[in-house]
Amino acid sequence: MATAVHPLADEWTDEYALFKVEHDRVAYSRPLWHFLADCRASEIRPVLVTGPGAVLSPHLYSAMTQSGAHWAFTDGGLVYDARSGTRIRAISDLWAPRDTSERHPEVSATSTAVPAVLFDVYAADRASDDTRVGPLVDFLVGGLTGGAPARWGRDEPLTSGWDHVAVTKDAQRKMPASDVMLASSETGAWASLAVARTRDGILQRVHGGVPLPTLSATARAELRDRVLPFITSTLTGLATQFTPRVALISAGMLHQAGGRFGYPVGGYPVDAPLAVLIGARTVRDLRLDIPALTASHDVVVLGPGRVPSVLVRMTGREGLWTQLRAFAYDLDQERLAAALSNEFRGVI
């Protein structure tokens, strides 16, 4: 495998690129922003290499997920898969793992886990002179108990004060599709915002999460019941105050250290879906049979008129992913694929 010298990576091959970080607190810095962007453009796998004590910021972890990046750590001359703690013999073992039971003896991320509510929302708006793209971030972060956004930027550290006019102008300069813009609150909530022009306006994607340290002592089986009331309230407000296409709310886990939240090495429970909102236009495009869905799922119909929005909550006794798969199966798969591919093309 050929290895080349590259200004953005410590090792660059025709299959993957390595970016090595020596310190333990790893943020979504400008060099990492360029590294992930260049890997996407070159269509090769990005690999972050850290030490065993590294903690990734939520913004970086999310960006790596969006870029299909892998994460390894080194300790005592050995290399491990950072997400599982399993030793690897070659970097390619990260995406083509071999059978092995050799694990790092001290990896145990879940022992300091903090629950979090994660959100991924697509919403439309008009493309007019008075349109602002910041209020949707405010609504989601605040509604899910994350307080008010305080800072924003393209990479970390976020140095600009949160300002709707500045964020909107930055998005406008990059049309027809903006770069991802990052935001955070003083309570540890984080969000990313991307905007794209469509044939009848703009489409925003807001993705992020809100840590819930006050619920750390809550049993995982009880978390759903504790958070569903404010999730339901937030999605109901989303349907009435904005123009959502699709929104997914999930439960996840973070790590808290030194007053900051992030992702350390080690395995985490898979994010669990809690609720899905399908906006009125998507309901129309999918031609949803709302009475039939209501008979099988916990459906709340939102809004007046012949084509309302539909809120589906995962409140059944089956596993959360099982419930979401069952709901997706009950939709018209061809119409669902067509609606998503046409509506969301170009939005990161």
Kind and range of the H or E run holding 9: strand 9-13
Judgement on whether residues 170 and 252 belong to the same structural domain of the protein: yes
Exposure of 336 in the CB half-sphere (CA atoms within 13 A): 10
Q: Quick one: tokens of 31? A: 């060099």
Residue 5 is predicted with a pLDDT of 46
DSSP string, 274-343: EEEEE-HHHHHHHT--HHHHHHHSEEEEESSSSS-EEEEE--SSS-HHHHHHHHHHHS-HHHHHHHHHHH
Judgement on whether residues 163 and 226 belong to the same structural domain of the protein: yes
Q: Report whether 265 contacts 109 (CB < 8 A).
A: yes
Count of domains in the chain? 2
Question: How do residues 61-83 score in pLDDT, each as one tens digit?
Answer: 999 999 999 999 999 889 999 98
Judgement on whether residues 138 and 250 belong to the same structural domain of the protein: yes
Judgement on whether residues 72 and 154 belong to the same structural domain of the protein: no
Judgement on whether residues 13 and 97 belong to the same structural domain of the protein: yes
Judgement on whether residues 313 and 191 belong to the same structural domain of the protein: yes
Residue 339 is predicted with a pLDDT of 59
Question: How do residues 270-289 score in pLDDT, each as one tens digit?
Answer: 788 999 999 999 888 888 88
Q: Report whether 290 contacts 297 (CB < 8 A).
A: no
pLDDT 10s digit of each residue in the chain, 348 long? 545 545 556 788 889 999 999 998 999 999 999 999 999 999 999 999 999 989 999 999 999 999 999 999 999 889 999 988 889 989 999 998 777 667 776 765 545 789 999 999 999 998 888 889 999 999 999 999 999 999 999 999 999 999 999 999 999 998 999 999 999 999 999 999 999 998 889 999 999 999 999 998 888 778 888 999 999 999 999 999 999 999 999 999 998 877 789 998 887 777 889 999 999 998 888 888 888 888 888 889 997 667 799 999 988 776 766 777 777 776 765 655 555 555 555 555
Judgement on whether residues 160 and 185 belong to the same structural domain of the protein: yes
Task: Give the whole-angstrom CA distance, residue 286 versus residue 280.
Answer: 10
Residue 8 is predicted with a pLDDT of 56
Residue 61 is predicted with a pLDDT of 95
Judgement on whether residues 153 and 100 belong to the same structural domain of the protein: no
Kind and range of the H or E run holding 62: helix 58-67
Judgement on whether residues 48 and 136 belong to the same structural domain of the protein: no
Q: Identify the bridge partners of residue 13 per DSSP, sorted by sequence position.
A: 3
Q: Quick one: tokens of 114? A: 């903090």
| Pick from 264, 262, 288: nearest CA to 277 | 288
Judgement on whether residues 124 and 26 belong to the same structural domain of the protein: no
Of 88, 107, 126, which one is at a domain's C-terminal end?
107
pTM score = 0.89
Q: Domain limits at 59?
A: 3-107
Of 52, 84, 107, which one is at a domain's C-terminal end?
107
CA dist 62 to 14, 147, 152, Å?
A: 25, 20, 16
Judgement on whether residues 337 and 271 belong to the same structural domain of the protein: yes
Judgement on whether residues 89 and 117 belong to the same structural domain of the protein: no
Kind and range of the H or E run holding 236: helix 220-241
**If you compute the radius of gyration of the chain from its CA atoms, what whole number of angstroms results?**
21
| Pick from 28, 29, 30, 21: nearest CA to 52 | 21
Question: How do residues 224-277 score in pLDDT, each as one tens digit?
Answer: 889 999 999 999 999 999 999 999 999 999 988 777 899 988 877 778 899 999
Sequence-separated (6 or more) residues with CB below 8 Å from residue 301? 290, 294, 308, 309, 310, 311
DSSP string, 96-155: SPPP---B-TT--GGGGEEEEEEEEEEEEE--STT--SSHHHHHHHHHTT---EEEEESS
Of 107, 122, 146, which one is at a domain's C-terminal end?
107
Question: How far apart, in Å, do the first and last CA atoms of the chain sit?
Answer: 31
